[in-house]
């Protein structure tokens, strides 16, 4: 059954984009003249780019253009007539940023690892192994969820590895890519935030020490105290399992996707090939499916990452070296073919990385007009010891849905929330937990967060369709978490 193209899907460079660009420039010229000279005085006007961004995404279903236009609006507001200079400087700063360099290296080479696993026939071998043990769709999805829980070292590693491991099995069972990507995304950041031995745990522990929430060397101990109260992570992790078991319903977009595949339609929604890491990748002709060729690289990657203090970049490089010896030694491929597949994997990550660069650029622009800071300051008068954790959580969830910066938000929000909690006498562990939980929500639900993009790319699911199909489950987990924060504040 062929899928009808979505009438709202536009190509980059289409009439819609250029009309929107012209209208935005005109509006910016008129609007920025009405703004205060100092960005510190913008107040709630700083939400205008965010509202434009969400509106454009939902009208056009185009995230690339939405981020581009919203970034332009941010810099027009911040720099007025000199916004192009500001945009150019910001783009250069984003590209030379250490975090962005790390992202490009690690994600690019992870793309190479995934393509090599596919070309070696190892992915097919693992898929066959799972299929022999999971006879049903439900069993296959439970395997996917369990694997996501097991790969807890890093959210990038989890999203890319779990999807690459399971997509052949889920395709065989006619599971929609929307369902696969929902499970993959829901077991990425949420799991990392409730396991101390993860990149998230290590980062947060150090940040707590920097902000003097905990003394030196005691940041991890404080982080561990927050784990039971990171309610969003727990609910976000449990909801997909309940959906798999049929205890919790499939909402409209996800239900429609599952119906499509069960009726004989394609497992992937239209235009998924643009972001799919393995869109054109097939096992090489000399590849014999051996499950060891799958397990050894994955175990090597996880082991090296753990023993090097969670240095995933080193883990990826060592794993590529190990795969070279493993695959060339078995004559699965030649050295030249190995190099070609590494390049193919790097190329497959261009679209996901472009989306991440634009997301970083928008985040930079939004920070320049004090988006997150102004939102927090607007609700500060509502703060009280009882309500503070829940309000902080809800407000930061709202900002993270727009920004999707998670770790970046922690850097901005913790220095504001911690003194505020201490000033009003709110429970500090609960208040910090609220900030951390909101960051997980952003990573999980924001349409252009790094975890969402990587889950889409590795699962082979068009980015908007993935984000839109899992979106309703975010507010459910948020509502449950808000109630839990209120109850916890009452009890503690």
pLDDT tens-digit readout, 239-277: 999 999 999 999 999 999 999 999 999 999 999 988 888
Q: What span, in angstroms and rounded, lies between the C-alpha atoms of 315 and 321?
A: 10
How does 326-335 read in b/e, with b if 16+ C-beta sit within 10 Å?
bbeeeebbee
pLDDT in tens, 1-33: 334 334 333 344 455 666 666 666 656 655 656
**Residue ranges in 331-404 assigned as alpha helix (H):** 335-348, 350-368, 371-379, 388-403
Q: What is the pTM of this model?
A: 0.86
Q: What span, in angstroms and rounded, lies between the C-alpha atoms of 347 and 120?
A: 18
Share of the chain above pLDDT 70, in %: 91
Contact status, residue 182 vs residue 470, Cβ threshold 8 Å: yes
Contact status, residue 269 vs residue 257, Cβ threshold 8 Å: yes
Question: DSSP readout, 213-234?
Answer: SS-TT-HHHHHHHHGGG-HHHH
Interval 92-111 mean pLDDT? 90
3-class secondary-structure state, position 265 = coil
Interval 189-208 mean pLDDT? 92
Q: What span, in angstroms and rounded, lies between the C-alpha atoms of 43 and 39?
A: 8
Q: What span, in angstroms and rounded, lies between the C-alpha atoms of 365 and 180?
A: 33
**How sure is the predictor about 317, in pLDDT bands with cuts at 50, 70 and 90?**
very high
pLDDT of residue 4: 38
Q: What span, in angstroms and rounded, lies between the C-alpha atoms of 237 and 227?
A: 13
**How sure is the predictor about 40, in pLDDT bands with cuts at 50, 70 and 90?**
confident
Q: What span, in angstroms and rounded, lies between the C-alpha atoms of 364 and 75?
A: 9
**How sure is the predictor about 329, in pLDDT bands with cuts at 50, 70 and 90?**
very high
Is the four-CA dihedral 71, 77, 82, 86 of positive or negative sign? negative
Q: In the predicted model, is pLDDT for residue 64 greater than 90?
A: no
3-class secondary-structure state, position 168 = helix
**How sure is the predictor about 81, in pLDDT bands with cuts at 50, 70 and 90?**
confident
pLDDT of residue 470: 96
Angle (nearest 5°) at CA 460 between 165 and 129: 25
Interval 84-106 mean pLDDT? 89
- Phi and psi, residue 323, nearest 5°: -65, -35
pLDDT of residue 26: 58
Rg (CA), the chain: 23
Q: In the predicted model, is pLDDT for residue 46 greater than 90?
A: no
Interval 98-127 mean pLDDT? 89
Question: DSSP readout, 397-424?
Answer: HHHHHHH--THHHHHHHHHHHHHHHHHH
Q: What span, in angstroms and rounded, lies between the C-alpha atoms of 21 and 15?
A: 10
Determine which helix (DSSP H) or strand (DSSP E) holds 136, and give its type and residue range: none
Which DSSP category does 195 fall into? -
Q: What span, in angstroms and rounded, lies between the C-alpha atoms of 177 and 182?
A: 8
Share of the chain above pLDDT 90, in %: 53
Neighbours of 60 (CB within 10 A): 18
Interval 140-149 mean pLDDT? 94
Q: Residue 311 burial by CB count (10 A; 0-12/13-18/19+): exposed, middle or buried? A: middle
pLDDT in tens, 355-406: 899 998 998 998 898 888 888 888 878 788 889 999 999 999 999 999 888 8
pLDDT of residue 5: 38
Total residues found in the chain within this entry: 492
**Measuring CA to CA, which residue among 23, 124, 129, 36 is closest to residue 80?**
36
């Amino acid at each position: 059954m062929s899928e009808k193209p979505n009438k709202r899907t536009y190509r980059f460079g289409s009439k819609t984009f250029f009309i929107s660009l012209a209208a935005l420039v005109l509006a910016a010229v008129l609007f920025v003249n009405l703004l205060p000279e100092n960005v510190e005085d913008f107040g709630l006007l700083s939400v205008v780019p965010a509202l434009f961004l969400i509106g454009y995404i939902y009208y056009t279903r185009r995230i690339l253009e939405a981020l581009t236009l919203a970034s332009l609006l941010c810099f027009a507001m911040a720099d007025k007539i000199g916004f192009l200079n500001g945009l150019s400087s910001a783009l250069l700063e984003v590209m030379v940023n250490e975090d962005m360099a790390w992202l490009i290296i690690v994600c690019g080479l992870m793309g190479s690892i995934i393509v090599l696993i596919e070309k070696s026939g190892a992915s097919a071998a693992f898929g066959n192994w799972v299929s022999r043990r999971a006879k049903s769709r439900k069993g296959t999805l439970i395997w996917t969820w369990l694997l996501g829980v097991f790969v807890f070292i890093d959210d990038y590693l989890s999203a890319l590895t779990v999807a690459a491991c399971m997509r052949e099995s889920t395709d065989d069972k006619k599971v929609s890519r929307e369902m696969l990507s929902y499970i993959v995304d829901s077991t990425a950041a949420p799991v990392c935030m409730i396991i101390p031995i993860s990149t998230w745990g290590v980062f947060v522990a150090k940040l707590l020490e920097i902000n003097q929430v905990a003394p030196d060397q005691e940041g991890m101990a404080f982080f561990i105290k927050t784990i039971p109260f990171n309610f969003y992570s727990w609910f976000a992790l449990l909801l997909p399992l309940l959906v798999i078991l049929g205890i919790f319903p499939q909402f409209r977009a996800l239900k429609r996707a599952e119906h499509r595949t069960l009726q004989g339609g394609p497992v992937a929604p239209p235009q998924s090939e643009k972001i799919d890491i393995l869109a054109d990748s097939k096992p090489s002709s000399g590849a014999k499916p051996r499950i060891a060729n799958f397990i050894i690289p994955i175990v090597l990657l996880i082991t090296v990452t753990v023993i090097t203090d969670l240095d995933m970049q080193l883990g990826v490089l060592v794993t590529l070296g190990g795969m070279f010896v493993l695959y060339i030694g078995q004559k699965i491929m030649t050295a030249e073919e190995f190099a070609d597949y590494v390049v193919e994997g790097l190329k497959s990550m261009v679209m996901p990385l472009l989306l991440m660069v634009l997301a970083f650029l928008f985040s930079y622009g939004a920070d320049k007009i004090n988006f997150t800071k102004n939102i927090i300051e607007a609700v500060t008068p509502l703060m009280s010891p009882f309500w503070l954790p829940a309000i902080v959580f809800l407000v930061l969830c709202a900002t993270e849905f727009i920004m999707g910066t998670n770790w970046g938000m922690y850097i901005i929000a913790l220095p504001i929330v911690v003194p505020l909690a201490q000033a009003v006498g709110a429970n500090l562990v609960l208040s910090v937990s609220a900030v951390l939980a909101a960051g997980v929500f952003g990573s999980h639900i924001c349409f252009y967060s790094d975890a969402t993009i990587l889950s889409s790319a590795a699962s082979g699911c068009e980015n908007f369709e993935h984000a839109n199909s899992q979106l309703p489950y975010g507010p459910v987990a948020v509502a449950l978490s808000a109630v839990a924060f209120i109850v916890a504040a009452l009890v503690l």
